[in-house]
Amino acid sequence: MLDFAKGDGLVPVIVQDAQTLEVLMLGYMNEEAWQKTQAEKRVTFFSRSKNRLWTKGEESGNFLNVKSIHVDCDQDTVLIKAEPMGPTCHTGSRSCFGTEFNQNFLLELERIVNQRFEHPSDESYVNRLRTRGINKIAQKVGEEAVETVIAALTETDKDFINETSDLLFHLIVLLREKGFSLETIAKNLESRHQ
């Protein structure tokens, strides 16, 4: 149970992108906002300036759909992992903290690839590759791996970075085609590390 008494009826809430883990914003909840967030699965805050409940996205449509909720060990702070339905900040930025680039872009790229799988279009390279079958996708991963090794040994750093980027992109497509995610690989690596 959250301890609303410590903060005069409010608890701080950190919202993080569930996919990329980027911190999107900080807000405050009273008990009513907490209950509404849990019931509707959309982040609702208590606006200290407006002195009322405020569902993020109620005017812009850029809702924060709740994926998971975590309460800290002192029961007085909340971490919400959410799926943003557009920019989080009123300035149009992904994050209220004005990050200039997404440090977890591999996770964002995975989300983009997943969208291409779910909503195929003729203009999409992912869709064109996918229609050629898993053998072609796997072959592309192999080709990019060889090109990465060659670039590491004989070409410029820029060539190596470009080839490594191509390899990671195609590997993400292959993972999706096989029904796996980067999270699956991360968990496997973590279990090996322990």
CATH number, domain with residue 134: 1.10.287.1080
Give a yes or no: residue 124 inside a domain: yes
pLDDT at residue number 97: 84
Q: How far apart are CA 169 and CA 175, in angstroms?
A: 10
Spell out the SS3 assignment of the chain. CCCCCCCCCCEEEEEEECCCCCEEEEEEECHHHHHHHHHHCECEEEECCCCEEEECCCCCCCCEEEEEEEECCCCCCEEEEEEECCCCCCCCCCCCCCCCCCCCHHHHHHHHHHHHHHCCCCCCHHHHHHHCCHHHHHHHHHHHHHHHHHHHHHCCHHHHHHHHHHHHHHHHHHHHHHCCCHHHHHHHHHHHHC
Give a yes or no: residue 167 inside a domain: yes
At 1-12, the pLDDT tens digits run: 889 988 889 999
How many structural domains compose the chain? 2
At 21-75, the pLDDT tens digits run: 889 999 999 999 999 999 999 999 999 999 999 999 999 999 999 999 999 999 9
Taking only Cα atoms into account, the Rg of the chain, rounded to an integer number of angstroms, comes to: 21
Q: Using the predicted structure, report yes or no on whether residue 169 has a pLDDT greater than 80.
A: yes
Give a yes or no: residue 97 inside a domain: no
Give a yes or no: residue 189 inside a domain: yes
> 116 with 173, same domain?
yes
> 78 with 147, same domain?
no
pLDDT at residue number 102: 57
Tokens of 81: 């992992």
At 111-152, the pLDDT tens digits run: 889 999 999 999 999 999 999 999 999 999 999 999 999 999
Q: Using the predicted structure, report yes or no on whether residue 194 has a pLDDT greater than 80.
A: no
pLDDT at residue number 85: 92
Q: Residue 80: which pLDDT band, with cuts at 50, 70 and 90?
A: very high
Give a yes or no: residue 131 inside a domain: yes
Q: The domain containing residue 125 runs over which residues? A: 104-193
Give a yes or no: residue 28 inside a domain: yes
Place of tokens 């569930």: 18
pLDDT at residue number 100: 56
pLDDT at residue number 167: 97
pLDDT at residue number 103: 60
Residue 76: give its domain's CATH number: 3.10.20.810
Q: Using the predicted structure, report yes or no on whether residue 101 has a pLDDT greater than 60.
A: no
Q: Residue 104: which pLDDT band, with cuts at 50, 70 and 90?
A: confident
Q: Using the predicted structure, report yes or no on whether residue 86 has a pLDDT greater than 70.
A: yes
pLDDT at residue number 99: 62
